[in-house]
Amino acid sequence: MSAPNAPDRFNEEKSTFTIRGSGDTPDLKEGVAAIRNVLKTLPLKPGVYRMQDARGDVLYVGKARALKNRVANYTQVERLPKRLQRMVSQTRSMTIVTTNNEAEALLLEAQLIKRYRPAYNVLLRDDKSFPFILLRADHDFPRIQKHRGARRAKGNYYGPFASAGSVNNTLNALQKLFLLRSCTDSFFRTRDRPCLLHQIKRCSAPCVGRIDQAGYAELIEDAKDFLAGKSTKVQAKLGDQMQAAAENMDFELAAVLRDRLKALTFIQGTQAINAEGVGDADIFALAAKDGVIGIQAFFIRGGQNWGHRSFFPAHTADVPEEEVLSLFLMQFYEEVPPARTVFVDRELPEAEALTEAMSAQAGRKVELSVPQRGTRRRLLEQATRNAQEALERRLAESTTQARLLREVADLFDLPEPPNRIEVYDNSHIQGTNALGAMIVAGPEGFRKGQYRKFNIRQAATDDDFAMMREVFGRRFARAQAEDPDRDSGDWPDLVLIDGGRGQLNAVRGVLEDLGIEDVPLVGVAKGPHHGREGREVFHLLDGREITLPTNAPVLFYLQRLRDEVHRYVIGAHREKRAKAMGASPLDEVPGIGPARKKALLMHFGTARAVRNASLRDLQQAPGVSAAVAQQVYDFYHAK
Q: What are the two backbone dihedrals, phi and then psi, of residue 461, each rounded to the nearest 5 degrees?
A: -80, 5
Look at 172-186, 378-392, 582-596 and tell me which has the smallest mean pLDDT.
Answer: 582-596
pLDDT (tens digit per residue) in 22-65: 444 457 889 999 999 999 889 899 999 999 998 888 999 999 99
Q: What is the pTM of this model?
A: 0.68
- Cis bond leading into 160, ω under 30°? yes
- For the chain, what percent of residues have pLDDT higher than 90? 32
> Minimal CA–CA distance to 555: which of 417, 448, 407?
407
Strands 304-311 and 341-344: unpaired
* 3-state class (DSSP) for residue 544: coil
Q: Are 562 and 524 in contact (CB under 8 A)?
A: yes
C-beta neighbour count of 243 within 10 angstroms: 12
With both helix axes pointing from N to C terminus, report the angle between 464-482 and 501-513 in degrees, rounded to the nearest 10.
30
* Predicted local distance difference test score (pLDDT) of residue 591: 67
SS3 content of the chain, % helix, strand, coil (to 5): 45, 20, 35
* Predicted local distance difference test score (pLDDT) of residue 82: 86
Mean pLDDT of 361-375: 89
- Dist. CA 473–CA 515, nearest whole Å: 12
* Predicted local distance difference test score (pLDDT) of residue 205: 92
Q: Which domains does the chain have, with CATH numbers?
A: 16-116 (3.40.1440.10), 132-269 (no CATH), 281-392 (3.30.420.340), 421-580 (3.30.420.340), 585-637 (1.10.150.20)
* Predicted local distance difference test score (pLDDT) of residue 343: 94
- Dist. CA 531–CA 181, nearest whole Å: 44
Rg (Cα) of the chain, in Å, rounded?
30
- The angle formed by the CA atoms of residues 632, 635 and 639, to the nearest 5 degrees, is 140
Q: Are 285 and 295 in contact (CB under 8 A)?
A: yes
* 3-state class (DSSP) for residue 339: coil
- Residues with Cβ < 8 Å from 592, sequence gap 6 or more? 586, 600, 628, 631, 632
- The answer, yes or no, to whether residue 141 has pLDDT greater than 90, is yes
- The answer, yes or no, to whether residue 347 has pLDDT greater than 80, is yes
Average pLDDT, the chain: 83
Helices within 117-227 (DSSP H only): 164-178, 185-190, 196-199, 213-227
What are the beta bridge partners of residue 309? 297
